Every structure is written in C-alpha cells, then in structure tokens.
C-alpha cells in the first residue's frame, strides 16, 4: 500500500474511534478532491501494488469439536454431515480454525486420535465440563479435504507442554519412517497433512481465560512469553477431564482420587482442604491410622489420593475438596516456538497476546516489545488478534435502543476494530522481525457479558448488517496486509443461526455473510495483488452519540488486480437506507468496454436468510458499459458491490 492510501485509512479509523466526524480524508486533502457536487469519488491506482491477495481472508473459526462439531460431522458414517460440504465450498471458505476458541483451551490432542473406543474424554475449556473426542485431528483433516479449505490449528497452552505440541506438529506433518508419521499412517493417513499455520493459546489475556497464570496483566504476559510458576488459592480440585464444582465433592467412598487443575506442582507447596479442614500429605498411606486426615500427592500429575478408612480417613460425603499450590514451573511461548520449529521449520507459529480495551488495542507495553527487550524478536512468526466489536465493552451498551442502533453500532465498531489491527501491525513493524505479520483468528460484532438485550434487532449477527460489517473488515484487512482472517463461527448449536456463518444442523442455512463470501470468492482466490484505492469526499452516516463517535463512513473499498490482469473493485455501502452515486476513477488501467457487476443487498439492512426463506438474500449479477477512465455507479443502500474490469486485449 502506498503511504498516501495507508495514511487515508488510518486517519479515518482513528477519527471514528475518537468520535471525530468528517470525510475520512486527512486535513490537507479534505478540500477540492471530490466531485464539485460533493459526491464521493473512488480512485484506483492499479499500478500501486502492495500485498498479495490472501485466499485465507474469508476463513472461519471452526465449530466446537465435541458433540460431532455441533452436527457438522456424521460420526456414525465417519464423514461430514450431508449438506455442509457443498455449502462451505460454494461460500469460498478458504480456512477453518481447529479445534476452536475458548472451549478448546484445554484440548488434549493425543486423547482424540486413534480408534474411537480408545479415545479419552476431553475437558471443555470454558465451563470445565467433560466432553467427547469424536471429532479429532484426523476427522478435522478429512473434513478439510472434503471442503477444500486450508487448516489452521490453535494449540492449547494452559494444560500442555512444548513437547506435547511439538509432537502434534510431527503427527500432522512428519513423513512416514518417523514415530508420529508412522502412527498417523496406522490411523489411516500415510501422507503428511502439511498444516502450516499454528497459534499458541486462545485469548489468554482475558480475565476468565488465565487458567494457571497470574491475574496481573503484565505478569501474565511475561508468563505467557517465558513461562513461570503461579500460586493457586482455594481452587476446587477435580479430575483430568472434569473441572466442574461437582467433581470436587467427596462421594464418601474409600480410595478416592482427585487432581489439581494445573499440574505440575512445586513439591511440598500444596495445602489440601476437605471442607474447612486442612489435611496432611504423607509419603504413603500404609502406616496411617483409620482416622488420620492424610493423603498422598504426586507433584508431577497433581494427583491426590485419600485413604480407605483403615489406612487414612475417608473424606466425608458431600464435602468439597480444595487446594492451594504453586502451579509450575510451566514453559512459555518461546519454548513452544523453539520446539515446534525444530520439528518443522516451515510452519508459522503465532503468538496471541493482543489484549483489547474499550474499542482499542490495550495500552502499555505489548508482546512484541517485551520479546524484543529480551532478545527474542525472532521467536515468533506473527501475532493473532481478536478485534471483536463488543457492544458492552466498546459502546457501553446493554442493548439496542432500536433496530437502527443495532446496525449503526456495528459500523461504528468496525472502524475501531480495523484500527486495533493497524496498531498491532505497527507494533510488529517496530519490534518484530522482518516478515512478521498479523492474522485475525476471530472477529465479529457481538454482545459479551452483562445484559444482552437485542430484542429490537435479534437477527443482528446473521442479517445483512453483519455481512456489511464483515465485508468492511475484509476490505480494511486486505489493505493492511493481514495474512488470514477467521470470523466467528462456522455453525452453531442446533438449530440456531446466531453468531454463525451457517445455521445449525441439519439445515445449515447460509447467512448473508456466507452469500457475500461466495460473491467475493474470485476476488480473494484470484491471486494477484491489492492495489491502491481510496474514497474522496466520502458520505457520512449520522448516528446517536456513542463512545465511538456519532457518524461513520458510508463507503469502504479495496481493489486488486488478479493473476489474469483483471481489476476488481470492492465497494461496501453501509448506509442503512441511502443509495450513493459515486464516480469510480480507474486511472490509467486499460480495460475492456464491459465490466462484470455483482451485488448482495437483500431488501433491507435487517434482511436475512432462514429455513423457510433460504434465498431471501442472494447475489444479483449484471454488466456495465465502462468506457474511458471512469465509471459512474449508484451503490445500493446496505449493499456489497464487486466491479470487475477485464483487461483490454490487443
């Protein structure tokens, strides 16, 4: 991207995030650059090439792996569920993240391979519940082969070791003739899978995803980077596959066994309580009396073993067992990176410590600066960020005042989300190694926590509004050189549509988000490069006053020249009710006389597809006569338009 185009985008994003209204141009360019009548002008410089167009821009966070990935996997026939493969292919999904986000933070990959009868239960990462292992790494890769998407793996950090994750890399990528390559072959896939993109952990900076790490943000970031030890206090015990409170309750039976949540444990650092009484650790129970409140403890596994009523007292039925202990020592990201790259130097391993504050990247020292200070700027290949628009956090909203606000809040948040990505990119450029890049492994506009009153617009996350939000994100991210993007989520629990690309099984209704992906499939899969584009005298949409401003730019654009020499211009009109006529200036691009046009708009910004009306929002295609160096075009309200100009042929 040229410096001028980057400057225009960054100023517009900063202005919206700060509550500044205007054209989105820099002050020195604000006057005299648009049409005399004030209409927006979209300018293209097809020779101002920058980043390669990424085929992974329209990726998606995978459905949860358990419960047959919410019905996406047909475990009875060991295949993808009927109906889902064609819809994913048609929608141009280039990448699918596995095993997922928060729920996968405690995933145990070794328990999810091999014969189904031999697989272990899993520990769900959000609620600590026990879940199944049917949709394991091999099933995931079989699914990837069917849908033609590229895999991307989120490797858990909180309950694993660098060696265990390096083994996972070997299982996925090592050739036959090696330990893990041969095991993969015995499990039905002789050839390496070749998984290139990996990230370590999911949102570990979040207050409720710290697991063993400190509640202090700076200390926790250092622990993520370099490892360490952390005191755990009054923590319920459980089992390796169950961290729910009920798993810490004595059943009154002899020889009960429990485990602390986050082993290993510093020897002799533990305090174990049964109810409110502290019991005592002993080397063995053989010499204990029937009423002695004692236990044995294995620091490496965190296993607590109680007596049988003859040798050691039995914890009274119904009492909860809790533990204080020093969890660790644990390895940090640098250790994971080193071991994983030793197995396969060709993979990309991304760090995930990119915390978000209210509508912006968190202030203070960031992960790139921390690693640079310690001489480890070369120990990560990039950063993955989750630049969600969180209505509760960013707009201080507990609900939508009306339906229009539900649309506007998404558009206001979108520019702020893009600014988060541009700020993280700047940190990498300053502190990271050459070639380090930013990826987005979750994104979207949602309520998180607190009240979630969306009664005035309950379809906001799967209506045309959210498709406009995502199309704007892809345009911004393409201009910023984002390597890959995964939105949230592939499918949801049956039969819901909320927060998903497709509705739940068995219908898998395609949302407008999926329709727009289909529309843009050739744009993102056509090869070639992003080229310079900008909107002069952009129209502004006024909103109520919010922490993210009181207006947003109506038009968002990006453009690319594909491998065949065709110029494609993507234009998103986020206005909820106003068509906008603009002149598209093509500069010195030599094009044929006829341009291909595709539009996704629906009948209104709140339009959506459903099981009863699966084609309420569709792609409409047409052609336009394009002579000379410009094209006047009216971009429909709440629409995504793609103009494709084939090159002039001799």
Among 640, 617, 641, 599, which residue's Cα sits nearest to residue 510? Answer: 617
Residue 24 has pLDDT above 70, yes or no: no
Dist. CA 425–CA 430, nearest whole Å: 9
Mean pLDDT of 630-644: 97
SS3 14: helix
Which tokens hold the place of 137? 């790494």
**Residue 474: which pLDDT band, with cuts at 50, 70 and 90?**
very high
**Tell me, what's the pLDDT at 452?**
72
Q: Is the peptide bond before 468 cis (omega within 30 degrees of 0)?
A: no
Dist. CA 369–CA 153, nearest whole Å: 25
Number of residues assigned to the chain: 650
Residue 8 has pLDDT above 50, yes or no: no
With residues binned 3-state (H G I as helix, E B as strand, rest as coil), the percentages for the chain, rounded to 5, are 25, 30, 45
The CA-CA-CA angle for residues 339, 342, 348, to 5°, reads 85
- List, as one string, the DSSP characters of 425-448: HHHHHHHS-TT-EEEESS--EE--
Q: Is the peptide bond before 513 cis (omega within 30 degrees of 0)?
A: no
Which tokens hold the place of 227? 């490892």
**Tell me, what's the pLDDT at 5?**
39
Q: What is the DSSP-derived secondary structure letter of residue 333?
A: H
Q: What is the CATH number of domain 41-53+528-645?
A: 2.60.40.1180
The CA-CA-CA angle for residues 94, 98, 101, to 5°, reads 115
**Tell me, what's the pLDDT at 82?**
87
For 307-316, write each residue's pLDDT tens digit: 999 999 999 9
**Tell me, what's the pLDDT at 449?**
66
Q: Are 560 and 528 in contact (CB under 8 A)?
A: yes
**Tell me, what's the pLDDT at 488?**
86
**Tell me, what's the pLDDT at 499?**
77
Nearest 10 degrees: Cα torsion 317, 322, 328, 334: 100
Determine how many CB atoms are found less than 10 A away from the CB of residue 289. 11
Which tokens hold the place of 439? 């990826």
**Tell me, what's the pLDDT at 185?**
98
**Residue 363: which pLDDT band, with cuts at 50, 70 and 90?**
very high
Dist. CA 80–CA 286, nearest whole Å: 53
Mean pLDDT of 359-383: 97
**Residue 35: which pLDDT band, with cuts at 50, 70 and 90?**
low
For the chain, the average pLDDT equals 92
Residue 381 has pLDDT above 60, yes or no: yes
Which tokens hold the place of 283? 């080397």
| Span of 111-125, 451-465, 557-571 with lowest mean pLDDT | 451-465
**Tell me, what's the pLDDT at 637?**
98
For 546-555, write each residue's pLDDT tens digit: 999 999 999 9
Beta bridge partners of 397: none
**Residue with the two structure tokens 């070369």:** 378
Dist. CA 222–CA 207, nearest whole Å: 15
Mean pLDDT of 78-104: 95
Dist. CA 416–CA 395, nearest whole Å: 11
For 574-604, write each residue's pLDDT tens digit: 999 999 999 999 999 999 999 999 999 989 9
For 340-362, write each residue's pLDDT tens digit: 999 999 999 999 999 999 999 99
**Tell me, what's the pLDDT at 454?**
87
Q: Are 388 and 448 in contact (CB under 8 A)?
A: yes
Domain boundaries, the chain: 41-53+528-645, 60-225+331-526, 230-330
Mean pLDDT of 220-244: 98
Q: Burial-class residue 630 by CB neighbours within 10 Å (0-12, 13-18, 19+).
A: middle
**Residue 28: which pLDDT band, with cuts at 50, 70 and 90?**
very low
SS3 460: coil
Mean pLDDT of 198-211: 96
Among 410, 128, 142, 123, which residue's Cα sits nearest to residue 244? Answer: 128
CA 616 to chain centre: 28
Which tokens hold the place of 463? 């209506």
Q: What is the DSSP-derived secondary structure letter of residue 334?
A: H
Q: What is the DSSP-derived secondary structure letter of residue 79?
A: E
Q: Are 345 and 169 in contact (CB under 8 A)?
A: no
User: Greater confidence, 12 or 480?
Assistant: 480
- In sign, the C-alpha dihedral spanning 441, 504, 78, 129 is positive
Among 282, 281, 283, which residue's Cα sits nearest to residue 325? Answer: 281
Q: Are 409 and 562 in contact (CB under 8 A)?
A: no
| pTM score, whole prediction | 0.93
For 396-433, write each residue's pLDDT tens digit: 999 999 999 999 999 999 999 999 999 999 999 999 99
**Tell me, what's the pLDDT at 16?**
36
**Residue 98: which pLDDT band, with cuts at 50, 70 and 90?**
very high
Do 41-53+528-645 and 60-225+331-526 agree at the fold level?
A: no
Dist. CA 306–CA 291, nearest whole Å: 12
Mean pLDDT of 534-552: 97
The CATH H-level superfamily of 60-225+331-526 is Glycosidases (3.20.20.80)
Dist. CA 440–CA 617, nearest whole Å: 27
Residue 229 has pLDDT above 60, yes or no: yes
**Tell me, what's the pLDDT at 266?**
98
CA 191 to chain centre: 28
């Amino acid at each position: 991207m040229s410096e001028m185009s980057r400057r225009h985008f960054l100023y517009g994003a900063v202005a919206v995030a700060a509550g500044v209204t205007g054209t989105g141009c820099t002050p020195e360019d604000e006057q005299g650059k648009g049409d005399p009548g004030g209409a927006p002008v979209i300018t293209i410089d097809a020779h101002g090439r920058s980043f390669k167009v990424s085929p992974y821009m329209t990726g998606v966070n995978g459905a949860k792996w358990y419960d047959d990935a919410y019905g996406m996997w047909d475990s009875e026939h060991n295949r993808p569920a009927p109906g889902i493969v064609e819809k994913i292919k048609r929608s141009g999904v280039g990448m699918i993240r596995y095993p997922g986000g928060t729920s996968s933070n405690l995933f145990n990959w070794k328990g999810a391979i091999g014969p189904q009868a031999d697989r272990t239960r899993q520990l769900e990462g959000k609620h600590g519940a026990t879940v199944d292992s049917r949709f394991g790494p091999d099933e995931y890769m079989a699914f990837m082969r069917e849908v033609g998407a590229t895999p991307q793996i989120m490797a858990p950090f909180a309950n694993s070791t660098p060696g265990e994750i390096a083994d996972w890399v070997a299982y996925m990528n090592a050739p036959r003739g090696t330990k893990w390559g041969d095991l993969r072959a015995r499990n039905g896939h002789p050839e390496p899978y070749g998984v290139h993109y990996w990230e370590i952990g999911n949102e570990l900076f979040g207050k409720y995803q710290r697991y063993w790490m400190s509640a202090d943000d700076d200390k926790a970031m250092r622990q993520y980077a370099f490892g360490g030890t952390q005191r755990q206090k009054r923590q319920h015990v459980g089992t390796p596959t169950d961290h729910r409170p009920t798993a810490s309750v004595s059943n009154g039976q002899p020889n009960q066994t429990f485990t602390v949540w986050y082993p290993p444990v510093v020897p002799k650092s533990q305090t174990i309580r049964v109810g409110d009484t502290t019991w005592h650790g002993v080397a063995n129970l053989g010499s204990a009396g029937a009423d002695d409140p004692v236990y044995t403890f294995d620091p490496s596994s965190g296993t607590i073993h109680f007596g049988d009523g003859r040798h050691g007292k039995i914890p009274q039925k119904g009492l909860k067992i809790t533990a204080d202990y020093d969890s660790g020592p644990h390895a940090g990201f640098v250790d994971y990176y080193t071991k994983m790259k030793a197995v396969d130097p060709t993979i990309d391993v991304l760090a995930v410590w990119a915390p978000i504050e209210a509508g912006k990247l968190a202030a203070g020292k960031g992960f790139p600066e921390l690693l640079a200070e310690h001489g480890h700027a070369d120990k990560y290949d990039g950063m993955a960020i989750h630049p969600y628009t969180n209505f509760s956090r960013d707009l201080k909203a507990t609900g939508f005042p009306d339906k229009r606000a539900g649309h506007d809040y998404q558009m206001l948040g979108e520019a702020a989300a893009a600014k988060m990505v541009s700020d993280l990119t700047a940190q990498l450029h300053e502190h990271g190694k050459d070639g380090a890049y930013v990826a987005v492994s979750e994104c979207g506009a949602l309520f998180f926590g607190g009240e979630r009153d969306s009664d005035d617009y309950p379809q906001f996350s799967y209506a045309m509004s959210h498709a406009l939000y995502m199309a704007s994100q892809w345009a911004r991210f393409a201009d910023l050189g984002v390597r890959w993007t995964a939105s949230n989520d592939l499918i949801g629990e049956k039969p819901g549509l909320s927060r998903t690309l497709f509705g739940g099984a068995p219908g898998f209704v395609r949302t407008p988000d999926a329709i727009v992906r289909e529309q843009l499939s050739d744009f993102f899969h056509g090869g070639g490069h992003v080229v310079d584009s900008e909107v002069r005298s952009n129209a502004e949409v006024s909103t109520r006053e919010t922490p993210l401003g009181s207006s947003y730019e109506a038009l968002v654009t990006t453009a690319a020249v594909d491998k065949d020499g065709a110029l494609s211009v993507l234009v998103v009109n986020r206005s909820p009710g106003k068509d906008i006529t603009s002149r598209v200036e093509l500069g010195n691009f030599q094009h044929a006389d006829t341009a291909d046009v595709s539009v996704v708009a629906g009948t209104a910004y709140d339009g959506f597809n459903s099981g009863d009306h699966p084609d309420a929002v569709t792609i409409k295609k047409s052609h336009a006569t394009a002579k000379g160096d410009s094209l006047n075009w009216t971009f429909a309200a709440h629409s995504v338009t793609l103009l494709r100009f084939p090159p002039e042929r001799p």
